[in-house]
Chains A and B, each alone.
Chain A
Amino acid sequence: MTRTNGKVPGGPVLSVEDLAVAYKIRGGEIEAVQDVTFDIQRGEAHGIVGESGCGKSTVTWAILNFLGANGYVKRGGIKFLGQELVGRSGEELRRLRGDQIAMVYQDPMQALNPSMRLGDQMKEVLTVHRGLSDKEAEKRCISMLERVYMPDAANVMHRFPHQISGGQQQRVVIAMALLNNPALLIMDEPTTALDVTVEAAVLDLIAELRRDFDTGILFISHNLGVVARVCNKVGVMYAGEMVEVATTEDIYKNPQHPYTQGLIRCVPKLGSDKASSMLYPIRGRVPPPNNRPPGCVYGPRCDYFQDRCREERPELRKLPNGVEVRCHFAEKIDPSKWQPSEDILPPKVRQNGDKEEYIIEVKDLKKYYEVQGSSLKDVFGMSEPRYVKAVENATFNVPKGKTLGIVGESGCGKSTLIKTIIGLEDSTSGDAEFLGLDITGDLTTRTEQLIQELQMVFQNPDSTMNPSYTVGQQIGRPMLRFGTVPKGEVRNEVIKLLNLMRLGANYYDRLPRQLSGGEKQRVGIARALASRPDLVLCDEPVSALDVSVQAAVLNLLLEVQAEYGTTMIFIAHDLSVVRFFSDYVAVMYLGQIMEIGPADAIYALPYHPYTEALLSAVPIPDPSAKQKRIRLEGTVPSAISPPQGCRFNTRCPRRQLLPDGGKICETETPPWQEDERGHRIFCHIPRETLLTFEPVIQTKERAV
Chain B
Amino acid sequence: MLVKDVMTRHPIMVPPEMSAAEAQHIMTENLVRHLPVVGDGKKLVGLVTNQCFAMKPDTMISLSVWEITRYLSNLKVQKIMLSVKEGKVYTINFGKTVEQAARIMTEHKIGCLPVVDDDGVVVGILSEIDLLRSLQEMLGLPTKGVRVTMRMPNKKGQFAALTGALAQNDLGVMGIGSFPTPRQPGYYDIVVKIPEVSIEQVRDILSQVPEQEIVDIHEE
| Interface residues, chain A, with chain B CB atoms under 8 Å away | 1, 4, 6, 9-11, 13, 42-43, 81-83, 95-96, 98-100, 129-132, 180-181, 183, 213-216
Contact = CB atoms under 8 A, between A and B. Distances in A.
B211 interface: no
A95 B42 CA distance: 10
Contact of A81 (B12, B31, B121): B12
Interface residues on B, range: 20 to 34
Nearest to A128: B41
Interface stretch (B3-11, B81-89, B103-111, B159-167): B3-11
B199 to A, nearest CB: 30
Closest 7 CB pairs of A and B: A183-B10, A82-B30, A214-B9, A130-B41, A81-B12, A11-B30, A82-B12
B152 interface: no
A41 B32 CA distance: 15
Contact of B12 (A10, A43, A95, A99): A10
* Most-contacted residue by chain B among A4, A9, A183 (CB, 10 A): A9
B31 A214 contact: no
29 contacts: A1-B29, A9-B32, A9-B127, A10-B10, A10-B11, A10-B12, A11-B30, A11-B31, A42-B8, A81-B11, A82-B12, A82-B26, A82-B30, A82-B32, A95-B15, A96-B15, A98-B42, A100-B10, A100-B42, A129-B41, A130-B41, A130-B42, A130-B119, A130-B121, A131-B41, A180-B42, A181-B10, A214-B10, A215-B10
Contacts of B29: 1, 82
B17 to A, nearest CB: 8
Nearest to B15: A95
Most interface-central of A82, A96, A215 (chain B CB within 10 A): A82
A512 B87 CA distance: 69
A96 B12 CA distance: 10
Contacts of A96: 15
B26 A83 contact: yes
Given A98-B42, A131-B41, A9 B130 contact: yes
Contacts of A183: 9-10
A597 to B, nearest CB: 49
Interface string B31-46: 1100000001110000
A41 to B, nearest CB: 10
A306 B90 CA distance: 64
A131 B41 CA distance: 7
Given A6-B31, A9-B130, A11-B30, A131 B40 contact: yes
Contacts of A11: 12, 30-32
A600 B141 CA distance: 50
Interface in B29-66: 29-32, 40-42
B1 interface: no
A99 B30 CA distance: 21
Contacts of B30: 1, 4, 10-11, 82
A42 B31 contact: no
Given A10-B30, A130-B121, 5 more contacts: A9-B8, A10-B8, A81-B11, A83-B12, A181-B123
B135 interface: no
A393 B36 CA distance: 66
B133 to A, nearest CB: 9
B129 interface: yes
Interface string B124-147: 000101100000000000000000
Nearest to B14: A83
Contacts of B127: 9
Given A1-B29, A9-B129, A181-B123, A42 B10 contact: yes
A13 B10 contact: yes
Contacts of B15: 95-96
A132 B10 contact: no
Contacts of A83: 12, 26
B21 to A, nearest CB: 14
Contact of A10 (B32, B41, B42, B123): B32
Nearest to B13: A81
Contacts of B13: 81
A125 to B, nearest CB: 11
Q: Which of B10, B121, B127 has the most CB of A within 10 A?
A: B10
Contacts of A100: 10, 42
